[in-house]
C-alpha cells in the first residue's frame, strides 16, 4: 500500500485577465506576464500536475490515475477520467461572463466525460471587488432577447466579494470572477466553457475572443436558482473543520489548524491545499513540511495521519 502524500507541482495557464499574484502572493515561479491560473491538483489532459515525491516522482497525476487506480480506489476501467480539478485563479482583470454545461450535455454535445460544476473559496479580494452570479431573466425567451440585445447591466446579477467567502456554482449558472479577486476553485475535471460576454475586449492583435451564445442559451438554468448549503462544523483536536459544500460531485472543507489533530481518512482520496501558515503532516513515522502554496493528494488506504502547526487548509474529495 502506498503510504505517503502525493505532492504536486502546479501547471500555469496564460490568460488575458491574469496577473502576477501567483508569484507575489504564492511564491510560484510563473512563466507568463499574465498568468491567470495555477492548476494545482490536475489530471486534466490540458495541464496535468507533476508528482514531486515518492516512487511516482516525475509522472503526472493523470499517469497515476491511469496506471495506479488503486491509489484512488478506482472501481473499474470504465471510469474515464480523474473527476476533480483544483485551481488558483488570479483575476487581475474581469474574467468573461460564462456558463458551463452539465454532464449529460458535455457527453452528448462535446464528447468529454464531465460537465462543470465548480465552487470558489475566495483567498483575497481588493476593496470593491465583485462577482457575477446568476441572471434576472424569467424565461428562456427573455434570456435570449437580453443576450441578443446586449442588456448585460439588466441581465447579470452582481455580488460584492471578500476574503473567506464561499460560492457554489452548479453547471448552468451564469458567472464571472471579477477583477481584484484570487480564488481557490474546486471543480469537476472539465475545460468546457461557453463565453457569454467579454466586455467587448480586444487582444493585442485587435481581435475579440469568441462567444458561444447559442450553447449558452441552451445550458443556462432559467430562472436562476440561487445555491445554498449548510456549513457543518466539526472539531478534531486542534483542527476545526467546516464543511462548505457536499454535492454529488464533490465535498469541500475549510480546515483551521491550531495545534495537533489526529485524523483518519475515510474518502477514496483526499485533495489538500495549504492556503496559509506552516504545519507538518505525519504519515506512519514520516513527517512532511506544509506551507502556503503546497498541494497534495492523500491516496486510498492511508488511514491515520497527524497534522501539527498553524495553517488554513482547503480539503476536498469526490
Cell readout for 72 is 484512488
Q: How far separated are the first and last CA of the chain, in Å rounded?
A: 21
Rounded Cα distance between 7 and 298, Å, is 9
In the chain, which ranges are continuous DSSP H helix?
A: 21-24, 61-67, 103-105, 140-148, 152-155, 213-219
* Candidates 15, 140, 158, 195; catalytic one: 195
Strand partners, 218: none
H, E, C per residue of 221-238: CCCCCCCCCCCEEEEECC
Contact at 8 Å (CB) between 237 and 262?
Answer: yes
The three grid cell numbers given for residue 202, joined into one nine-digit string: 480586444
Bridge partners, 274 (sequence order): 313
Helix (H), strand (E) counts: the chain: 6, 20
Catalytic residue flag (residue 195) = yes
Tell whether the torsion through CA atoms of 100, 93, 164 and 157 is positive or negative: negative
Contact 249/188 with Cβ under 8 angstroms? yes
Q: Which residues does 22 contact at the CB level (< 8 Å), separation at least 6?
A: 12, 28, 30, 35, 38, 88, 90
Please list the active-site residues. Answer: 195
Amino acid at each position: 500500500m502506498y503510504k505517503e502524500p502525493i505532492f504536486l507541482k502546479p501547471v500555469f495557464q496564460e490568460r488575458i485577465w491574469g496577473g502576477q499574484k501567483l508569484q507575489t502572493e504564492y511564491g510560484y515561479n510563473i512563466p507568463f506576464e499574465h498568468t491567470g491560473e495555477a492548476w494545482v491538483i490536475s489530471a486534466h489532459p490540458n495541464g496535468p500536475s507533476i508528482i514531486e515525491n515518492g516512487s511516482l516522482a516525475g509522472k503526472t497525476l493523470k499517469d497515476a490515475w491511469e496506471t495506479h487506480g488503486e491509489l484512488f480506489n478506482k472501481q473499474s476501467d470504465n471510469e474515464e477520467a480523474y473527476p476533480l480539478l483544483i485551481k488558483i485563479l488570479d483575476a487581475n482583470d474581469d474574467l468573461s461572463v460564462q456558463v458551463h454545461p452539465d454532464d449529460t450535455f458535455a457527453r452528448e454535445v462535446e464528447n468529454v466525460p464531465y460537465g462543470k460544476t465548480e465552487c470558489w473559496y475566495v483567498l483575497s479580494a481588493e476593496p470593491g471587488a465583485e462577482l457575477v452570479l446568476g441572471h434576472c431573466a424569467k424565461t428562456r425567451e427573455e434570456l435570449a432577447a437580453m443576450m441578443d440585445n446586449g442588456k448585460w447591466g439588466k441581465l447579470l446579477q452582481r455580488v460584492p466579494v471578500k476574503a473567506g467567502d464561499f460560492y457554489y456554482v452548479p453547471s448552468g449558472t451564469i458567472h464571472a470572477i471579477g477583477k481584484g479577486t484570487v480564488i481557490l476553485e474546486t471543480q469537476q475535471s472539465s475545460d468546457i466553457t461557453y463565453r457569454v460576454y467579454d466586455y467587448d475586449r480586444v487582444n493585442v492583435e485587435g481581435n475579440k475572443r469568441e462567444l458561444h451564445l447559442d450553447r449558452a442559451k441552451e445550458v443556462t438554468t432559467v430562472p436562476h436558482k440561487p445555491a445554498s448549503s449548510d456549513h457543518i462544523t466539526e472539531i478534531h483536536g486542534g483542527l476545526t473543520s467546516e464543511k462548505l459544500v457536499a454535492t454529488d460531485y464533490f465535498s469541500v472543507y475549510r480546515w483551521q489548524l491550531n495545534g495537533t489533530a489526529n485524523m483518519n481518512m475515510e474518502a477514496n482520496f483526499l485533495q489538500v491545499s495549504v492556503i496559509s501558515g506552516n504545519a507538518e503532516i505525519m504519515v506512519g513515522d514520516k513527517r512532511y513540511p506544509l506551507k502556503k502554496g503546497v498541494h497534495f493528494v492523500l491516496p486510498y488506504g492511508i488511514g491515520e495521519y497527524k497534522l501539527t502547526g498553524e495553517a488554513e487548509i482547503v480539503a476536498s474529495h469526490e
